[in-house]
Amino acid sequence: MRDTSETEIAVAGQTAIKFTAKDVDVFYGETHAIRGVNVDILDKTVTAFIGPSGCGKTTFLRCLNRMNDTIPICRVTGDIRLDGEDIYDRRVDPVQLRARVGMVFQKPNPFPKSIYDNVAYGPKIHGLAKNRAELDGVVEDALRRAALWTEVKDRLKEPGTGLSGGQQQRLCIARAVATNPEVLLMDEPCSALDPIATAQIEELIDELRENFLVVIVTHSMQQAARVSQRTAFFHLGDLVEYGETGQIFTNPHDPRTESYITGRIG
Amino acid sequence: MTKTNIEAAGWSSDASRLNLRRRRRSETWLKGAGLVAISLAFLMLFTLVASLFATGYQAFRQTHVTIEVTVPAEVTDPGDANWRAIVREAVARLFPEAGDRELRGLSDILSNGAQYIVRDRVSANLSLIGQTFEVKVPVSDPYDQLNKGLIDRATPEANRRVSDDEIAAFDQLVEAGRITRPMNWALLTNVDSRFPELAGLKGALLGSFYALLTCFVISFPIGIGAAIYLEEFAPKNRLSDIIEININNLAAVPSVVFGLLALAVFLNWFGLPRGAPFVGGLTLALMTLPTIIIATRAALKAVPPSIREAALGVGASKQQVVFQHVLPLAMPGILTGTIIGLAQALGETAPLLLIGMNAFITAAPATPFESATALPTQIFIWADSPERGFVSRTSAAILVLLGFLVLMNALAIYLRNRFERRW
């Protein structure tokens, strides 16, 4: 950690810091899932969380939009700030936070409704569109940003669950971007997809970076190397190393990172 | 390391083959036992339904006799005429050679309700006054039994419901072609009566309908509300555990206990009317509630967590997640559970007996607050009646009740298949 902090500050000078986490611990009942994580995540980047199964990367990701609140036995301590504002503050409404910090899940999970309704749901409940025409615009825009518009524009009324796996996942991305979030969290978004669909999603992630911060949890180190600018390596609940992706993969400072990257642990 | 038997002897050894044969045999045994169990269950069901049909089918037809009635022109008010005399005169016309003495006995061939049937016919059409016209009226129960072959003519006269003379008179009517046996729609359209040939289920059907309606209106929203709170919002602690256990136990409480509770609370304390379908519905709602709560909770649990996460992920509030996503997806399961709960309530007898829905009532209830019987209590009353005609009518009423139960269960299956979603 200490070694990387200087490079971090150097990079931080170029882009704004979006998320700051200080001494974050997460407990599931008695289990200490995450230990003292400190990290600054930069805006308009793709940041990848890598690490072996059960290392806490998904748990930490779910802290960033307070999805862990829905698990009764889960307890989060420490300080997580979004644009300098403590997201665990009493005055912050987790429901609104989740509209600002969108999320895409491991398994495509479209609502069993039409494609249109899937995308329109978020804007509707947050009152982002004044009338039907505006809503149509929001839906089209979100589907375009998720690179799905040309494939589905003629069948918006058909159920979202009838699409292929890759299309469903892009529909979920469209649904997440439709509320105009600042951050997009992705929890292994390609793990249930074939290589072609994966390539489409990765390309899409790269485009999304222009507008928001994307934080992606992935099992595939190649994927982290392909899509991310910054990478964090988690191991057994510790954030072992965090830095520029190139540096992490070519010149890791921590021996554990090196072991994982080269396939000796994991 | 010691070698196992198989390793020592090999897969093709006798020991291995014996083991395989033993496994196959026990599998065959299990299959056989299952088949026997299912066959026994079917046999019992078949016996039940077959015996009901065997006795009940007679009640779906009713022997009628066609009489020629002359309404005197001096009748001005159909409500005030001597219909008894008018009908007796029609009977005399059937047996021209019979004397006054014999005629009194022969009038018993007609149902006691014949005079009212004639009256109602004339009231509906006043132009019949002063005319002679034909009316089909039901025969009284002994002759109905005779016509259906349920009274054995070989029985000695002293042990028979109808005498030799009466049989002769009836046969005379048969020969004259005046006896018919049409569909007995009166079974569904008439209210209860002391005379089997006039008794029908209208009051019981309406009573059951009002009771089920009350039961549904009360238990459906309360049951779903309770289930949603317990499943989605209640903190998981000791108290909610205790509540859950109690609800599950409530489903197993004998129905007669609910009847006693209703008697003590609804009738004696609140002073609600005795024997009213509304009170019956309240009592049945107490029993249906746990069924609906348990079914709803199971249906809510079956909605995949990914749907909840997806909705939470776009910033839906807890309430929006439940009412806009989880509940609609759970609805088929909830409806199935509700219909099965209502079907149970439809067949429930004991609590209704205790709140007085087993009275002899000869008027169909116009509102849920008037005294009435329900289908199961009507069956109870008829089964208890001494008249021969009620034997087949009891079976017929059971068949009607079973028909409604099958219909409701079919609806539950249809709803489940129609709205079932796959993920």
Q: How much is the pLDDT for A2? A: 44
Contacts of B377 (CB under 8 A, 6+ apart): B204, B349, B352, B353, B357, B358
pLDDT in tens, B320-339: 999 999 999 999 899 999 99
Q: How many Cβ atoms sit within 10 Å of the Cβ of residue B163?
A: 12
Q: H or E element: which one contains A72? A: none
Pick one of 1.10.10.10, 1.10.110.30, 1.10.3720.10, 2.40.10.10 as the CATH number of B202-419.
Answer: 1.10.3720.10
Helices and strands counted in chain A (H then E): 11, 10
Nearest alpha carbon to residue B150 among B138, B158, B160: B160
C-alpha B170/C-alpha B144 separation (Å) is 10
Q: How many Cβ atoms sit within 10 Å of the Cβ of residue A189?
A: 29
Whether residue B313 and residue A176 make contact (CB cut-off 8 A), yes or no, is yes
For B55, B95, B162, B383, the CA distances from B392, given in Å and listed in that order, are 5, 30, 19, 9
Strands across the sheet containing A101-104: A101-104, A183-187, A213-217, A46-50, A230-235, A238-244
Longest CA pairwise span in chain B (Å): 117
Partners of B236 on chain A (C-beta within 8 Å) are 72
Whether residue B314 and residue A110 make contact (CB cut-off 8 A), yes or no, is no
Query: What are the DSSP calls for B170-192, one per residue?
Result: HHHHHHTT-EE--B-THHHHS--
Whether residue A121 and residue B311 make contact (CB cut-off 8 A), yes or no, is yes
What does the block give as tokens for B57? 């089918």
Nearest alpha carbon to residue A137 among A149, A125, A126: A149
C-alpha B65/C-alpha A19 separation (Å) is 94
Kindly give the pairing relationship between strand A31-42 and strand A101-104. unpaired
What does the block give as tokens for B262? 């209703």
Exposure string of B136-153, with b = 16+ CB inside 10 Å and e = fewer, is ebbbbbbbbbbbbebbee
ipTM: 0.84
The chain A residue lying nearest B306, using CA atoms, is A109
C-alpha B232/C-alpha A154 separation (Å) is 38
Q: Which of A87-91, A104-108, B7-11, B56-60 has the lowest mean pLDDT?
A: B7-11
Q: Which of B236, B310, B312 sits opposite A70 (nearest CB)?
A: B312
Q: How many Cβ atoms sit within 10 Å of the Cβ of residue B283?
A: 31
Q: How much is the pLDDT for A130? A: 85
Instruction: State yes or no: pLDDT of A8 exceeds 70.
Output: no
Q: How many Cβ atoms sit within 10 Å of the Cβ of residue B328?
A: 15
pLDDT in tens, A142-156: 999 888 999 998 999
Q: What residues form DSSP beta bridges with A20?
A: A40, A81
Q: How much is the pLDDT for B421? A: 63
C-alpha A212/C-alpha B8 separation (Å) is 67
Q: How many Cβ atoms sit within 10 Å of the Cβ of residue A222?
A: 10
Instruction: State yes or no: pLDDT of A248 exceeds 60.
Output: yes
Partners of A111 on chain B (C-beta within 8 Å) are 307, 310-311, 325
Instruction: State yes or no: pLDDT of A266 exceeds 70.
Output: no
Whether residue B315 and residue A125 make contact (CB cut-off 8 A), yes or no, is yes
What does the block give as tokens for B188? 């569904």
If 0-12 CB within 10 Å is exposed, 13-18 middle and 19+ buried, where does residue B314 land?
Answer: buried
Compute the mean pLDDT over every residue in chain A, rounded to the nearest whole number: 87
Can you give the pLDDT of all 423 residues of chain B as single tens digits?
A: 556 665 666 788 888 888 899 999 999 999 999 999 999 999 999 999 999 999 899 899 999 999 999 888 888 888 788 888 888 888 888 888 877 777 878 888 889 889 899 998 888 888 888 888 999 999 999 999 999 888 888 888 888 888 888 888 899 899 988 999 999 998 999 999 989 999 999 999 999 999 999 999 999 999 999 999 999 888 888 998 999 899 989 888 999 999 999 999 999 999 999 999 999 999 999 999 999 999 999 999 999 999 999 999 888 888 999 999 999 999 989 999 999 999 999 999 999 999 999 888 888 899 999 999 999 999 999 999 988 889 999 999 999 999 999 999 998 888 888 877 654
Confidence of residue A4 (pLDDT cuts 50, 70, 90): very low
What does the block give as tokens for B249? 């136990």
Partners of A100 on chain B (C-beta within 8 Å) are 315
Any B CB within 8 A of A70 CB: yes
> Which residues 304-333 of B are in CB contact (within 8 Å) with A?
304, 306-317, 320, 324-325, 329
Whether residue B306 and residue A109 make contact (CB cut-off 8 A), yes or no, is yes
Domain boundary assignment for chain B = 59-184, 202-419
C-alpha A97/C-alpha A136 separation (Å) is 24
Partners of B302 on chain A (C-beta within 8 Å) are none
Q: How much is the pLDDT for B78? A: 81
* DSSP three-state, residue A263: coil
DSSP class of residue B3 equals: P
